[in-house]
Structure 1
């Protein structure tokens, strides 16, 4: 399986960076072809320009500013997001990726005023993430990142696509043991895909 890993963290020494390395190594060891997209290292521009917004519904020209990323998404059989949750949302660079790359004609189509999913090539959807807050606090806030992955992105993927949301909550109180246990969980989950 060809898997696009979207990684969004600026610090190569962070715990999320360790999760990223584990995700890539585990998928590779399991025989998957990994397209490792480090949004910070690649200098992805998350800002949707005025011209892009005005041409948002103009398929197929809407994809031209981000054509390379669109091709990578369309070539993937699986999509794995690796990122922290900041302020109960995605890092701006990842949110910008979703805004600029998940376009009409790419991730969905609009016909007769109705929206239909278009990422039927995605048969695996996973998120590996960390929260500073506890699970309970994230729940009280509505947990927008979980909803985005497990509802919005899942609906765009192939029917019956395998989906998982792996989160280490309460990183503000994490211990070496909790971090290791989560790394082990991530590795075990990905080894089975």
Structure 2
């Protein structure tokens, strides 16, 4: 199976980077092919431009980086996003990736009625979002309404009818002990060794 990972964290010593390492180790143990899109290292511009919006109407992206990502996603069987939750949402590069790459003519098109959506990346059999945050999980659910779930899992991939959507959220990371963090990493590595 080919897995595309979309990763967004600028600091190489981050816990997100440790998660990326664990997930990739598990996938390699299972002998899956991994294609890493490291948004912070690849010079991705997250800003939607006038040219992008004009291309939106024609269903044809114009940015060479977006076209490259389209080609990489077309070969994916599974898509994994890994990013931190900052101010209750995803960082700008992840949001820009969704705005500019999860695009009509790339990831979806509209149904003939114009009201519904249908997926275009036909190989994708599942999408996983792995996030970290310092906010306690119960507070994120009760006060902030699971904003990432609503925006990414439901508001993006459910709406486009992609199957097998999953969100793994590691909360209270700053307060967690080293032992607990290591346990999370081992669990993720084992989980992806069985994917």
Q: Please, what TM-score do these two structures have when normalized by structure 2?
A: 0.90
Matches of 2:101 and 2:33, distance apart in 1: 21
Moved beyond 4 Å, runs of 4+ = none
C-alpha spacing 1:154/1:34, structure 2 compared with 1 (3 Å): farther
C-alpha spacing 1:86/1:180, structure 2 compared with 1 (3 Å): same
Q: Name the structure 2 match of 1:64.
A: 62
Query: Are 2:151 and 1:153 aligned?
Result: no
Query: Are 2:2 and 1:2 aligned?
Result: yes
For 1:38-187, what aligned pairs fall within 5 Å after superposition?
Answer: 38-59=38-59, 61=60, 63-65=61-63, 66-110=66-110, 111-118=112-119, 119-139=121-141, 140-151=143-154, 152-156=156-160, 158=162, 161-187=163-189
Q: Name the structure 2 match of 1:188.
A: 190
User: Residue 55 of structure 1: SS of its match in structure 2?
Assistant: helix
What are the ranges of 5 or more consecutive residues in structure 2 without an aligned counterpart? none
C-alpha displacement at 1:64, in angstroms? 2.6
Q: CA RMSD in A?
A: 1.6
Higher RCO, Cα 8 Å, sep 6+: 2
C-alpha spacing 1:155/1:189, structure 2 compared with 1 (3 Å): farther
Matches of 2:190 and 2:166, distance apart in 1: 13
User: Residue 177 of structure 1: SS of its match in structure 2?
Assistant: helix
What are the ranges of 5 or more consecutive residues in structure 1 without an aligned counterpart? none
Q: How many residues align?
A: 189
Q: Please, what TM-score do these two structures have when normalized by structure 1?
A: 0.91
